[in-house]
Amino acid sequence: MALEEYLVGVVAAEMPASFETEALKAQAVAARTYTLRRTEDACGRGGAQICTDSACCQAYRSLSALRENWGGAYEENLGKVQRAVWETAGQAAFYEGELIEALYHSSAGGQTEDAAHVFANDVPYLVSVDSPGEEVSAAFHDTVRVSRKRFAKAVNQAWSGAGLKASSLHKQVKVRSRFASGRVDKVKLGKAEATGRELRKLFELNSANFTLEITADEVVFRTTGYGHGVGMSQYGANAMAKEGADYKEILAHYYAGITIDTAY
Ligand SMILES: [Zn+2]
């Protein structure tokens, strides 16, 4: 499939078409950059350079899926997304002459995260920055309730030495440390210790930026933001566009020290 044609399906799947044009253009450049980098270092699923699983590579929707999804707004939405891709055709983000790892997520919860805190390696352009205006996202705040029994069982299965008891969670479970962004770094789980990201994965939380309350019969997680929090926040990008920023300003905010250049 031609790259620009693929990117229309990615931008349409990854960002609401109702977003500002400059946010859609920022998403198009981020998705193009991500794709070009993946084609150098293939994802490999089914022998492909890149796959359509958002948990692995990037989300993608075909034109027929978009027609079904958008209904009467299909022509208008598709035109808007196509323009965002075509008006940035060939453009990608570079750092010191190399394509960047253009990670992005739905909302950062007010502040993006250092790559080092999520993926254990420092990336000079993936550093924590402010990300205001994301509260309009329906997923910005979320609550997940887990029974004490299920919580103890799941944790004991994942960390065999934890020794959690459903009746003693208020004494056994505690958030030990947080990163400056607010995301949880370490959590005490009885005799074990987990990272915020590990708990996020285990209980399918929207974000590692959570509080944890232990009630009479439940463990209640309250999350802020949606996604890993590294790189560009899509809702933050839209908020910047509403304030008058263009796509290059949006990308330069979320990816520190980059340049936008033509890749082909
Ligand atoms: Zn993949």
Q: What is the mean pLDDT of residues 136-163?
A: 97
User: What is the 163 CA–ligand 1 centroid distance (Å)?
Assistant: 36
Q: Tell me the average pLDDT of the chain.
A: 96
> In DSSP terms, which residues pair with 184 in a beta bridge?
178
In 13-45, which positions are buried (b, 16+ CB within 10 angstroms) versus exposed (e)? Answer: bbbebebbebbbbbbbbbbbbbbbbbeeeebee
User: What is the 59 CA–ligand 1 centroid distance (Å)?
Assistant: 10
User: What is the 83 CA–ligand 1 centroid distance (Å)?
Assistant: 26
Looking at per-residue pLDDT, the higher value among 38 and 60 belongs to 60
User: What is the 199 CA–ligand 1 centroid distance (Å)?
Assistant: 23
The structure's pTM equals 0.94
Confidence of residue 40 (pLDDT cuts 50, 70, 90): confident
User: What is the 55 CA–ligand 1 centroid distance (Å)?
Assistant: 8
Q: How many residues does the chain have?
A: 264
pLDDT by residue (tens digit) across 52-81?
998 889 999 999 999 999 999 999 999 999
Q: What is the mean pLDDT of residues 253-264?
A: 96
Domain chopping of the chain, boundaries: 3-122+228-262, 141-224
pLDDT at 208: 98
Residue 120 has pLDDT above 90, yes or no: no
pLDDT at 121: 87
User: What is the 14 CA–ligand 1 centroid distance (Å)?
Assistant: 15
Using CA atoms, how far apart are residues 127 and 113, in angstroms rounded to an integer? 6
User: What is the 65 CA–ligand 1 centroid distance (Å)?
Assistant: 20
pLDDT by residue (tens digit) across 195-234?
999 999 999 999 999 999 999 999 999 999 999 999 999 9
Confidence of residue 119 (pLDDT cuts 50, 70, 90): confident
Angle between helices 247-254 and 21-40 in degrees, nearest 10: 50
Terminal CA-to-CA distance of the chain, rounded, Å? 16
Using CA atoms, how far apart are residues 86 and 28, in angstroms rounded to an integer? 9
User: What is the 42 CA–ligand 1 centroid distance (Å)?
Assistant: 8
Measured in degrees and rounded to the nearest 5, phi and psi for residue 21 equal -55, -40
Q: What is the mean pLDDT of residues 234-250?
A: 98
CB of 92 within 8 A of CB of 29? yes
Confidence of residue 37 (pLDDT cuts 50, 70, 90): very high
Which of 13-27, 34-48, 182-196, 198-212 has the least mean pLDDT? 34-48
CB of 128 within 8 A of CB of 113? yes
pLDDT at 42: 83
